């Protein structure tokens, strides 16, 4: 059998990046003469990519300024440092290393553009990641478009594949890409977990290897043949 594949969302699944995104958003608001938002408020803007984040941030704080929405999007990207306040969720790096040691091939599918996504993955020790589809990888496509998931999975071969994420968008992406979905409960979802119909849920990444094996139909500890 070909090697099993695990495709992971990034923000809210492998890393808690809300503080770094919020810092860039608040720097933009400061330049516009507007008060800052809290990290908890900023989390409600996450899930549809950076452009939508900026749109939601501006709508929340008073609307698009005279400079225009696109100018604010560009400025946000200039201000954003993906490594400034981001951290890996406890156990996430160890869980992926364990699966990689068993022969799993691992990729990332994220709305974040490729350059900052690779930058934060390398900074936080995710050296087992082999492929990445970012928000600028597939022209005109963002999750839940299944082309995003296909772009992340294709470089990893043709073994059984499992998708892991934290949000409603991730659940829709898994359904569109016809992959079993594992839901991390510690991320940025906006509604009840049961409404997303995951194959399984987990609150700590220590549980991920066993759940991934089960979702892929593998025996405990099994990887590539």
Active site (catalytic) residues:
9
Q: Decide: residue 190, CB within 10 A, 0-12 exposed, 13-18 middle, 19+ buried.
A: exposed
Both tokens of residue 14? 């492998």
- HEC per residue, the chain: CCCCEEEECCECCCEECHHHHHHHHHHHHHHCCCCCCCHHHHHCCCCCCHHHHHHHHHHHHCCCCCCCHHHHHHHHHHHCCCCCCCEECCCHHHHHHHHHHCCCEEEEECCCCHHHHHHHHHHCCCCCEEEEECCCCCCCCCCCCHHHHHHHHHHHCCCCEEEEECCHHHHHHHHHCCCCEEEECCCCCCCCHHHHCCCEEECCHHHHHHHHHHHCCCCCCCCCC
Residue 38 has a CB neighbour count (10 Å cut-off) of 10
Going by C-alpha positions, the residue among 18, 16, 36, 39 that lies closest to residue 27 is: 36
């Amino acid at each position: 059998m070909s090697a099993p594949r695990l495709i992971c969302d990034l923000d809210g699944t492998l890393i808690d990046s809300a503080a770094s995104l919020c810092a860039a958003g608040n720097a933009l608001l400061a330049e516009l003469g507007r008060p800052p938002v809290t990290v908890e408020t900023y989390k409600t803007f996450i899930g549809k990519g950076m452009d939508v984040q900026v749109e939601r941030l501006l709508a929340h704080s008073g609307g698009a300024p005279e400079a225009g929405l696109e100018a604010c999007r560009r400025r946000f990207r200039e201000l954003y440092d993906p490594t400034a306040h981001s951290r890996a969720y406890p156990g996430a790096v160890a869980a992926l290393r364990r699966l990689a040691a068993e022969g799993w091939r691992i990729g990332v599918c994220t709305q974040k553009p490729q350059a900052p996504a690779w930058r934060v993955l390398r900074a936080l020790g995710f050296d087992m990641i082999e492929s990445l589809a970012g928000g600028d990888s597939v022209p005109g496509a963002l999750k839940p478009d299944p082309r995003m998931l296909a772009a992340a999975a294709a470089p990893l071969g043709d073994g059984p594949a499992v998708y892991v994420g934290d949000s409603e968008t991730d659940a829709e992406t898994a359904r569109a890409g016809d992959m079993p979905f594992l839901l991390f409960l510690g991320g940025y979802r906006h509604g009840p977990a049961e409404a997303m119909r995951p194959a399984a849920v987990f609150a700590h990444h220590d549980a991920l290897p066993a759940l991934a094996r089960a979702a892929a139909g593998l025996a405990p500890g099994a990887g590539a043949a």
